[in-house]
Amino acid sequence: MDQTVAGTIAPLREIIAIWRPYRGRLLLGGLLSLCALASGLMLMGAAGGRLAGAAIGLSVAYIAVRLAGIGRIVLRYVERLFTHDAMFRALAAVRVWFYRKLATSSAAGLGFRRSGDLLSRLVSDIETLDSLYLRLAIPLAGAVLAGPVVSVIGWRTEHGLGLGLAVLFALSAFAFPAIAAYVARRNGAALSQAEVDLRIAALDFSGGLREARAFEAEAQLVDRIEARQEQLYTFQQQQSRRLAIAGASSFLCSQIAILLALGAISVWGSVHVDLLQATILLFIVIAVFEGTMGLTRAGLTFAQVSHAALRVSEVARSQQHAGTTAVIPAMRGDIVLNDISFRWADDRRPVFKNMTLTIRCGERVALLGPSGSGKSSLAALLLKVVTPDSGSIVFAGDDIAGLDTDQWRKRIAWLSQSTHLFDDTIRNNLLLVRPEATDEALWHALDQARIGDFVRALPDGLDAWIGEGGSRLSGGQGRRIALARTLLSDAPILILDEPATGLDADTERDFLRTLNETTTGRTVLLIAHRLTGIEKLDRVWRLQDGQAVAMPL
């Protein structure tokens, strides 16, 4: 992970750019917060002045205390209302942005990401981002305002005192928080990784509870969770210890500052007017330095926020990388794989070795091969989830590497081996690919997938709720809903990865017949272990040793 300053700042700038529409509200919230702070300082100063005045028999107007007191309460309330409202809106914008980035990769990339990691990014990382404004920017702006105030009043009492207070303030409000940020930043990556690991273990456990029970492996999985929890605690403890030192140092500075102000009272207190000024100073020092205590935490917050911003923006960056060029793909064309070689990782064996094949526009072709031969990897390459190590994939004469990724994926309807069904109605699951589709079109697609009669028999029909991942359906029924969704899409290219998984032999035959009839004019890539003999195909290849070998029809 990039640890440089630029690597830290760039993701934060990206997040701040998403907040741009709320700039006015955020600035107003900040301004109100500074006004609340100013009235708080005035209140303390006025209270100090009145106390000293009472001690020396000087009449100091009570009105200032009242006004500052009321002002502080009202401003604090309005400020909280504004800053939190602005922040909730800004975070909602980040969530929408994040979802959009995920949605554009939903054709493929998600299947290759760990869901626990994604959940962490979506929930805790985005939540952490509110600290950037509420616990970082606002307290820092407050410190920038309060520091000069206390130094100037100190300077007017005695130059050396003003200087001393300024140094103590700089240490307490800026230096120690910066050290805390540095320490926390160093630990931050390990800490958030430990959080993600724990979340993945917990999700794994809850998702695989049935298997864990069946194999009596619950204790083993619980041990795994506990080990990861332990690891997280260890990192948290280390972090807390170091932060406690930074916090204590900052606290020490504030206590020295108060001692200095008390010293000022004892030195200059014999002269009435100076006593007044020194007491005001003491009260303001107490208020200002109390505010700096939270800044050490802001240092920690900075580390957490910069990590969160990096993790959240990483998702976007992979998308931007994939779609930086704006070449819009043609609607139709041949797909040509030119001499492509590909392996998933350097330490894995190559999946393709200088493979060349051409899928002509409107052809119905099949790609066969034993498990692990690379059929799904080819789909991943076509969908631009991964790029070939060498060679190129060309569509209608354009290298797909140069095509706009979002637009390219819109040309493809893809049915993966584990296509996801959403916890929603049948209708909404189908409308995902064609939001404007009529009920007639939905029923047509369901009939093509041989599931129309089943849906008609449901009390709620198209509005029946199918549960998480289609849990209220049988495996085969869910598969057919997913098939219907793919058939509903009007994309010119269909990639069907083992479409018959979970279907009985009769339904499989029916479905393949439908496929023969309904996909005329579209390019269909059928990925399968073997053929049934019903498929009407223009070409068949068998994947073997990283090559596509043409098979007789």
Which parts of this chain interact with ligand ATP (CB under 6 A)?
112, 344-345, 348, 351, 369, 371-377, 417
Nearer of residues 313 and 377 to ligand ATP, judged by Cβ: 377
Secondary structure class of 14 (helix, strand, coil): helix
Give the list of residues 6+ apart from residue 69 with CB closer than 8 angstroms, or none.
43
Nearer of residues 272 and 343 to ligand ATP, judged by Cβ: 343
Nearer of residues 5 and 345 to ligand ATP, judged by Cβ: 345
Backbone angles phi, psi at 465, to 5 degrees: -85, 130
Q: How far is residue 410 from each of residues 177, 189, 332, measured CA to CA in Å?
A: 49, 36, 12
Nearer of residues 151 and 377 to ligand ATP, judged by Cβ: 377
Nearer of residues 120 and 416 to ligand ATP, judged by Cβ: 416
Secondary structure class of 222 (helix, strand, coil): helix
Q: Report H helices in 3-62.
A: 5-18, 23-56
Angle at which helices 5-18 and 272-322 cross, to 10°: 90
Nearer of residues 24 and 372 to ligand ATP, judged by Cβ: 372
In terms of DSSP bridges, do strands 493-497 and 523-528 run parallel, antiparallel, or are they unpaired? parallel
Question: CB of 112: closest distance to ligand ATP in angstroms?
Answer: 5
Question: CB of 548: closest distance to ligand ATP in angstroms?
Answer: 12
Question: CB of 371: closest distance to ligand ATP in angstroms?
Answer: 3
Q: Which of 486, 480, 551, 495 is nearest to 376 (CA)?
A: 495
Question: CB of 115: closest distance to ligand ATP in angstroms?
Answer: 14
Question: CB of 373: closest distance to ligand ATP in angstroms?
Answer: 4
Question: CB of 370: closest distance to ligand ATP in angstroms?
Answer: 7
Q: What would the DSSP string read from start to end of 239-252?
A: HHHHHHHHHHHHHH
d(CA 402, CA 245): 53
Burial 260-297 (b: 16+ CB within 10 A, else e): bbbebbeebbeeeebbbbbbbbbbbbbbbbebbebbbb
Question: CB of 486: closest distance to ligand ATP in angstroms?
Answer: 17
Nearer of residues 239 and 373 to ligand ATP, judged by Cβ: 373
Which H or E element spans position 477?
helix 475-488
